[in-house]
């Protein structure tokens, strides 16, 4: 067991300690605008291997490499299409990951043996500073144990990985709270592999072409596995009416249950831990993982989530909730 240090992103000496640990080949959880990432020097395959051990992640699941600016992707990717530059000019730094052909320098440990690489420039100031100081690419999946809920605070990271990583660099809650959009640019039609804050429409408006977003694709993409992002409590997506019924029967409950809703609920609710969610998409996405973590930690046996909006820009939220409840809902 390691003693995981909690470092503060606004303290220069802590930031330099995080840089030093990464340079030494250690793992440090770092803040990004999406979720906390588990960082290792992408050019050090021994360090990258530690990510898979700490997370319990299968070794053929590729990682995202983070770099300080568009120019730095040249080291990791080749045959870069013009669309990558057009998108980077608009969305980087930010929550868009591009899948490109990998360069010979990009190691197999990072790419899970694929001939492509996922890459992005993150927006968090402290993380960008680390990338500049270290002048390398940083491989970083979300800093949670494999298949569990992504972390949006340093406390979430500690809950899942304390004792398994050298440090966490705390910069408070993540600004967006949901993982980046992943766009594959390696074939003639760009394809969304994971929905995220940059929507299909936002991408199409910039590229002026139709983008594919298949419901199902290769299982290699771990975020695409049906049972990802799982709370410990059994999770269900339900209509408001069903949730209302559950609440009306709550006085007979023998164990605590959790409810995440955004519509108005009526009636007394005993034995129920409630999280009232924001009604706007950004607000909802921002507190989604935090609410699932909170309900889990309150020791509820089941979580009932009111079915979110079916609007296109809610696709990422619906995707993560469907996976959180995959064992229990039939979609």
Contacts with ligand TXA by CB under 6 A lie at: 32, 34-35, 37, 61-64, 95, 97, 99, 111, 114, 116-118, 122, 140-142, 179-180, 182, 193, 221-223
Contact call for residues 36 and 29 (beta carbons, < 8 A): yes
Query: Is the Cβ of residue 111 or residue 142 nearer to Mg ion in the bound state?
Result: 142
230 binds Mg ion (CB under 5 A): no
The tokens describing 31, both together, are 């803040």
Helices and strands per DSSP (H, E), number in the chain: 10, 15
142 binds Mg ion (CB under 5 A): yes
How far is the CA of 297 from the CAs of 245, 247, 273, in angstroms? 25, 21, 11
302 binding partner (options ligand TXA, Mg ion, none; Cβ < 5 to 8 Å by kind): none
243 binding partner (options ligand TXA, Mg ion, none; Cβ < 5 to 8 Å by kind): none
The tokens describing 261, both together, are 């809703």
Query: Is the Cβ of residue 50 or residue 261 nearer to ligand TXA in the bound state?
Result: 50
Query: Is the Cβ of residue 124 or residue 302 nearer to ligand TXA in the bound state?
Result: 124
The tokens describing 64, both together, are 């995202």
Q: How many CB atoms lie within 10 A of CB 240?
A: 14
Query: Is the Cβ of residue 142 or residue 181 nearer to Mg ion in the bound state?
Result: 142
Query: Is the Cβ of residue 17 or residue 192 nearer to ligand TXA in the bound state?
Result: 192
| Rounded Cα distance, 269 and 244, in Å | 10
CA 124-125-130 angle, 5° bins: 100
Radius of gyration of the chain (CA): 20
152 binds Mg ion (CB under 5 A): no
**Shortest distance, CB of residue 129 to ligand TXA, whole angstroms?**
16
**Shortest distance, CB of residue 59 to ligand TXA, whole angstroms?**
12
Query: Is the Cβ of residue 178 or residue 295 nearer to ligand TXA in the bound state?
Result: 178
Residue nearest to Mg ion (CB): 142
- Kind of pairing, strands 138-139 and 64-66? antiparallel
The site string for Mg ion over 36-75 (x = CB under 5 A, - otherwise) reads: ----------------------------------------
181 binds Mg ion (CB under 5 A): no
Token look-up 């949901």 returns 178
44 binding partner (options Mg ion, ligand TXA, none; Cβ < 5 to 8 Å by kind): none
221 binding partner (options ligand TXA, Mg ion, none; Cβ < 5 to 8 Å by kind): ligand TXA
Considering only the stretches 141-149, 256-264, 275-283, 315-323, report the one whose residues sit in contact with Mg ion under the rule CB under 5 A: 141-149
CA 223-76-130 angle, 5° bins: 80
Q: How many CB atoms lie within 10 A of CB 286?
A: 20
136 binds Mg ion (CB under 5 A): no
How far is the CA of 94 from the CAs of 16, 70, 74, 121, 211, in angstroms? 23, 12, 18, 6, 19
32 binding partner (options Mg ion, ligand TXA, none; Cβ < 5 to 8 Å by kind): ligand TXA
**Shortest distance, CB of residue 302 to ligand TXA, whole angstroms?**
26
CB under 8 Å to 216, separation ≥6 — which residues?
A: 224
Contact call for residues 3 and 26 (beta carbons, < 8 A): no
**Shortest distance, CB of residue 117 to ligand TXA, whole angstroms?**
5
| Rounded Cα distance, 212 and 136, in Å | 32
> Which residues contribute to the site for Mg ion (CB under 5 A)?
142
């Amino acid at each position: 067991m390691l003693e995981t240090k909690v470092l503060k992103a606004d303290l220069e000496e802590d930031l330099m300690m995080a840089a030093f640990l990464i340079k030494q080949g250690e793992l440090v959880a770092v803040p990004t605008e999406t979720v906390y990432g588990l960082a290792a020097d992408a050019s050090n395959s021994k360090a990258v291997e530690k990510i898979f051990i700490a997370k319990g992640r299968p070794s053929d699941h590729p990682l995202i490499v983070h770099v300080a600016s568009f120019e730095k992707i040249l080291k990791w990717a080749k045959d870069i299409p013009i669309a990558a530059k057009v998108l980077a000019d608009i969305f980087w730094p930010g929550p868009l990951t591009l899948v490109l052909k990998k360069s010979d320098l990009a190691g197999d440990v990072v790419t899970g043996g694929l001939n492509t690489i996922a890459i992005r420039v993150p927006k968090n100031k402290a993380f960008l500073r680390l990338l500049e100081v270290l002048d390398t690419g940083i491989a970083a999946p979300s800093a949670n144990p494999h298949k569990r809920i992504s972390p949006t605070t340093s406390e979430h990271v500690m809950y899942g990985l304390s004792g398994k990583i050298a440090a966490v660099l705390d910069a408070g809650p993540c600004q967006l709270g949901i993982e980046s959009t992943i766009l594959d640019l390696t074939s003639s039609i760009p394809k969304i592999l994971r929905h995220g804050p940059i929507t299909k429409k936002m991408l199409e408006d910039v590229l002026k072409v139709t983008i594919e977003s298949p419901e199902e694709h290769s299982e290699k993409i771990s975020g695409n596995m049906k049972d990802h992002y799982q709370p410990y409590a059994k999770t269900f997506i339900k209509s408001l009416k069903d949730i209302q019924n559950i609440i009306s029967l709550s006085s007979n409950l023998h164990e605590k249950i959790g409810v995440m809703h955004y519509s108005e609920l009526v009636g007394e609710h005993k034995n129920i831990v409630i999280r009232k969610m924001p009604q706007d998409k950004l607000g909802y996405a921002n507190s989604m993982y935090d609410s699932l973590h909170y309900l889990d930690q309150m020791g509820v046996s089941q979580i009932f989530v009111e079915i979110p909006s079916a609007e296109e820009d809610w696709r990422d939220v619906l995707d993560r909730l469907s996976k959180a409840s995959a064992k229990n809902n039939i979609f």
